[in-house]
Structure 1
Amino acid sequence: MRRRSLILAAVPAGLVTLAGCGDDKSDSSKASDSASPSAAETSAAPPPKIVDGPLPAITAGTKLNEKPAVAKGSGEPSDQLAVKTVIAGNGQTVAENDYIQANYLGQIWSSGKVFDNSYDRKTPLLIQLAAGSIIDGWRYALTGKKVGSRVEFSVPPTWGYGKNGNAQAGIKGTDTLVFVVDLQGTFNAKSSAKGSDVAQNDAKVPKVGTNTDGKAPSIEVPKADPPKKLVADYVIEGDGDEVKADSTVLVQYKGVLWDNGKEFDSTYSRKALTSFSLQQVVKGWAQGLTGKKVGSRVLIVVPPDLGYGDNPPAGSGISKDSTLVFSVDILAKM
C-alpha cells in the first residue's frame, strides 16, 4: 500500500476527512455522470495489436479541440485496437503512467451514439494513463503520441468495458467504442512549473528555489516566529487559467516544518504526482491555491488553524500546532 499524501489526510474537525488508507486516487476521474473512459474495470487481457483501421470518418469539427462529429461505423470493427493520428502534434511524447489532459468524444461503433464528451462540458479530462485508472484501450492507443495531436481509435470490449459493458451509458458487453482524443498536455514526476520568476524580498517568509528541472526546490525557512496568517505567494508565476475553489489540480509539492525545516511530505520523494480537488484538502491549501494560475510555483505557509491544529496525522512527523511550509507547482487543473 502506497503512503497517502498527507495533504489529503485532513483530520481536524471542520476539515474534509477522507478514507483512512489507500493509494493516491482523486476525483479527477469523475469527469461526468456518464461513462468517462476512467470508469471501467481493469482487464487482464494481453496487449492488443495496433492496427490502422477500419475507423469511421470525422465529418465535422476537424480542428484540434473542436467538438468532432464522427460517422457511424461501417461494417465490422477490428477485434484489435485500430489507431490513427488524425492531427500530428509536436509536443512532449506521452508515456504510460503519465497524467494526461485531453478533450475527448466517445461513441458506439454500431449505432454512432455519443455516450460521453468533454467538449460540451468545456472541461478537459485530467487523468493518469495507468492500469486501474483508465480503460486499457486508452493506455495502449495514446502511449507514444505527442501533445498537440488528435488521435482516433476504436476499442473492442476486451480493452474497454468488458463483457459487462456499462449500462448507465448504454454500452453493451459486445459494443466496440470509438474515441477521438485531443491531447493537450502530459505530466510526470519530472514536470515542473513554467513561468516567470517572482522576486522574493520578504525576509520574514521562506525562500523557495526556482529550479524547473523536475527536482525538488530548496525551502529556506527564516529564523523567526511563523506568521499567524496564511501566506500564499508566487515563486514562479505561470500564464495558465486561474484555479477555482472547486477545481481539481495536478501538482508537484514539497512540505517542511517551520520549526526545523524538516521535510515531512513530498511528491518528489515519492516520484509520483498528486491530483485532488481543493475541496478535499486542508483549508490552507484550498485558500492558498484558489486564484493562482496554472503553471505557477506557489509558496504556502499554513498556520495551525488552517492546517492540522492539535490533531496531526499519526506517524506524519508533524507535531501539534505546527506551522507548515509548502512549495507547490500547479501543473494542470480541471
Structure 2
Amino acid sequence: MRRRSALLAVPALLLTAAGCGSDNKDKGGSATASPTGSTPTSPGASGTTATPSTQIVSGPVPEITAGKGFGQKPTVAKGTVAPSPQLAVKTVVQGSGPTVAGGDYVTVNYLGQIWNTAKVFDTSFGRGPYTTVIGQGQVIPGWDEGLLGRKTGSRLELAIPPSLGYGDSGNAQAGISGTDTLVFVIDVLDRFNGTSSATGKPVPQKNPDLPKVGTNTDGKQPSVTIPKGAKEPTKLVAEYILEGSGPAVTSSSTVLAQYQGLVWTTGKSFDSSYSHGQLAPLQLSQLIPGWQQGLVGKKAGSRVLLVTPPALGYGKTPPSGSGIPADATLVFTLDILAVM
C-alpha cells in the first residue's frame, strides 16, 4: 500500500526501524541508546522459533529497589558483584499471555542502565511504549535472545554482556563503553504476528451505502460486503468498525497493521496481509494519500474501513500487475495493531 511506484505485496514494503535510535533525545535532552543495535533486516514468517540459541542463566541481576510492579517505572540498584559473561534473564513478574516467538512484534516498556554505575541511558517509561520485531536482528542480540519464549504480561530483568549488546565499540553517545554490561527491565505489554487482529469495540455500521465489514477478532480476514447498486463515494471514507483505545496515528507514524484491499466495482481482492502470513511496519508518509489522510487520528486496536476515490488511490496509473483497474475506487479494511 505504498506509493504508485511500489509493489503491493508486504515483502516488498519498506521496513523501517521503529522506536528511538541511538541518536534520539529523551525528554530531558540527553542522549539515549535504544535496543536497536543493528541494521534492520526483513522479518521472516512469525513463529519461526521460540528457542534462544544463546545459553541463558538466571543471574545475577541487580535488585529492583522501587517501582517493582508491572507497569511501574523501576529503580534499579547498581551491580554489586561481577556480572555473568552470559546472558542473564530473570522473570520478575510472570505473565499469562501469548508466548513471544521469532518474527513476532512486541510492544514493551523498558528501562536500560549500566551495571557498574546504575546510570540510566534510556527508558520508554514516561515517553511511551516501543514496538519492534524479535529474533530478526533489528534489536541488540540480548533482546533478540532474551525475549524469545517469554509470555506477554511478564516483567523481565536482563543483564546483557557486551558481546550481546553494543559490542567492543559500545555506544559513546550514550556513555556505554565496550566493556559495559547492560541491565534492562522490560515489561512485555503485547505481541503481534500474522494471526493478530484489532481488539476494539464494535461501532454500529448504519450507512447502507457503505461496505459491511466483519467484526471478528480471531485473527482471520474480516468479511467485506460491498452494497450492490450503491454509488461509489466521491470523497474519502474513513470510519471505525472496531474502535480501540490505544495511541492515535499521526502523520509521521509508522503503523503495524493487518489489511486487505478490494476493488469497489468487482469486490475482487487485490492485496491482503492475511494471505502473506506476516506483518510489516507501514510508514504513513509512504502510503497512498487515502491512507495518509484517513488514518491520522485513528487509534491503535481499531479496525478501520477506508474507501478511497481514484484521486486518493492509484488514479490512472495503478501498479503494473496489481489487478487494480485505472480510476478505481478502492475498499480497504485496516486493523491498527500498534502505532510505532
How would you bin the TM-score normalised by the shorter chain?
0.7 to 0.9
1:67-118 Cα shifts (integer Å, max 9, x gaps): 2221222232111110111122222222222111111111122232222111
Q: Distance in 1 between matches of 2:39 and 2:253?
A: 26
Indicate if the aligned counterparts of 2:243 and 2:302 stay in contact, CA closer than 8 A: yes
**Counterpart of 1:332?**
338
Q: Distance in 2 between matches of 1:93 and 1:48?
A: 18
| Equivalent residue for 1:305, pick from 297, 302, 311 | 311
| Equivalent residue for 1:38, pick from 36, 39, 45 | 36
**Counterpart of 1:216?**
221
**Counterpart of 2:15?**
25
Matched, 1:164 2:154: no
Q: Distance in 1 between matches of 2:16 and 2:97?
A: 26
Amino-acid identity (%): 53
Indicate if the aligned counterparts of 1:28 and 1:276 stay in contact, CA closer than 8 A: no
1:44-65 Cα shifts (integer Å, max 9, x gaps): xx92211111111112222222
Cα 1:31–1:207 change in 2 (3 A) is farther
Q: Distance in 2 between matches of 1:86 and 1:314?
A: 52
Cα 1:199–1:161 change in 2 (3 A) is same
**Counterpart of 2:273?**
267
Cα 1:10–1:66 change in 2 (3 A) is farther
**Counterpart of 1:90?**
96
AA aligned to 2:316 is D
Q: Distance in 2 between matches of 1:58 and 1:243?
A: 34
Q: Which moved more, 1:212-221 or 1:295-304?
A: 212-221
AA aligned to 1:323 is T
| Equivalent residue for 1:191, pick from 191, 196, 199 | 196
Cα 1:8–1:23 change in 2 (3 A) is closer
Indicate if the aligned counterparts of 1:79 and 1:156 stay in contact, CA closer than 8 A: yes
Q: CA deviation at 1:200?
A: 2.5
Q: Distance in 2 between matches of 1:127 and 1:259?
A: 37
**Partner SS state of residue 153, structure 1:** strand
Q: CA deviation at 1:263?
A: 1.6
| Equivalent residue for 2:282, pick from 276, 281, 284 | 276
Q: Distance in 1 between matches of 2:254 and 2:319?
A: 23
AA aligned to 2:96 is N
**Counterpart of 1:258?**
264
Q: CA deviation at 1:41?
A: 5.6
**Counterpart of 2:68?**
62
Quote the RMSD (CA, aligned, Å). 2.3
**Partner SS state of residue 168, structure 2:** helix
Q: Distance in 1 between matches of 2:278 and 2:288?
A: 20
Indicate if the aligned counterparts of 1:41 and 1:135 stay in contact, CA closer than 8 A: no
Moved over 6 A (4+): none
* TM-score (normalizing by structure 1): 0.86
**Partner SS state of residue 285, structure 2:** coil
Cα 1:38–1:244 change in 2 (3 A) is same
Q: Which moved more, 1:184-193 or 1:32-41?
A: 32-41
Indicate if the aligned counterparts of 2:108 and 2:186 stay in contact, CA closer than 8 A: yes
**Counterpart of 2:2?**
8
Matched, 1:118 2:124: yes
Cα 1:41–1:242 change in 2 (3 A) is closer
| Equivalent residue for 2:148, pick from 143, 151, 173 | 143
Q: Distance in 1 between matches of 2:17 and 2:309?
A: 27
AA aligned to 1:191 is S
Q: CA deviation at 1:301?
A: 0.4
Cα 1:311–1:175 change in 2 (3 A) is farther
**Counterpart of 1:4?**
none
AA aligned to 1:166 is N
AA aligned to 1:286 is Q
1:132-156 Cα shifts (integer Å, max 9, x gaps): 2112211221122222221001111
Indicate if the aligned counterparts of 1:206 and 1:219 stay in contact, CA closer than 8 A: yes
Cα 1:309–1:27 change in 2 (3 A) is farther
Q: Distance in 1 between matches of 2:179 and 2:247?
A: 40
Q: CA deviation at 1:177?
A: 1.1
Q: CA deviation at 1:212?
A: 1.9
Indicate if the aligned counterparts of 2:254 and 2:284 stay in contact, CA closer than 8 A: yes
Q: CA deviation at 1:27?
A: 4.3
**Counterpart of 1:231?**
237
